[in-house]
Amino acid sequence: MAGATMAHGDPHHLGGMDEAGAAHSGPAPKRIVTGYGFWIFILSDMIMFAAFFATYAVLLGQTAGGPGGRELFDLRNVAIETGFLLASSFTCGLATIAADMRRTLWFQVAMAVTCVLGLAFLTIEFREFASLVARGAGPTRSAFLSAFFTLVGCHGLHVSAGILWLLTMMAQVFAKGFRADIQRRILCFALFWHALDIIWVAVFTVVYLLGSAT
């Protein structure tokens, strides 16, 4: 179907293969490019977490005579933490919908609830860390505890950064409204927040549930 002139501009006939209408009107819209770039960042972040998970799994038994997961972890606390983070993921989704619909009030309410739930999660995590250190099970006690504090603390740092980003987005929507660039930032923030919840699923399974089983 392609003549000599067409073949010159499209040597592999890619335009002819694509029935979906992508043939071809220049670069993708900025929202897709931005979202995709941020998706790549999230995936590389997950690879970093995978390294910490591998470290934790390798060092799980290396307690140096100190306490192991079974003595240290309070699963009831972890269940409450999980509930808070899961609920915050849900309200973050509601905020995304409100942003798409340009409903400022609903957006701000949903983001505020997300923030409160995230802070509740962080409070419980911080108190758990403080009680572990107070019981002499700080990160210097054993290789197992070093790996534990690195992995869970890294996730906690991500949540803290996410809350700062969340507050920034609330302020930007308040000051600038739902401009296209603000909408892109909200998209990226929602990706980040949901990705943190995915990592937490791995944390409560590998660190707490499997860690206290052995």
Asked if 25 is part of the footprint of another protein (rule: CB under 8 A), the reply reads yes
Among 28, 157, 161, 171, binds another protein (CB under 8 A): 28
Q: Mind spelling out the 3-state secondary structure of 39-52?
A: HHHHHHHHHHHHHH
Round to whole Å and give the CA distance between 59 and 43: 24
Instruction: Decide: 198 and 50 in contact? Cβ < 8 Å.
Output: no
Among 43, 130, 157, 167, binds another protein (CB under 8 A): 43
Number of residues that bind another protein (CB under 8 A): 61
Q: Which helix (H) or strand (E) holds 156?
A: helix 143-176
Among 17, 54, 157, 161, binds another protein (CB under 8 A): 54
Among 2, 14, 51, 130, binds another protein (CB under 8 A): 51
How many CB atoms sit inside 10 A of residue 42's CB?
17
Round to whole Å and give the CA distance between 93 and 88: 9
Asked if 209 is part of the footprint of another protein (rule: CB under 8 A), the reply reads yes
Residues 130-189 that bind another protein (CB under 8 A): 178-180, 183, 187-188
Round to whole Å and give the CA distance between 58 and 69: 14
Instruction: Decide: 192 and 87 in contact? Cβ < 8 Å.
Output: no
**Would you tell me which residues interact with another protein (CB under 8 A)?**
18, 20-22, 25, 28-29, 31-32, 34-36, 38-40, 43-44, 46-47, 50-51, 53-55, 57-58, 75, 79, 82-83, 86-87, 89-90, 93-94, 96-97, 100-101, 178-180, 183, 187-188, 190-191, 194-195, 197-198, 201-202, 204-206, 209-210, 212-213
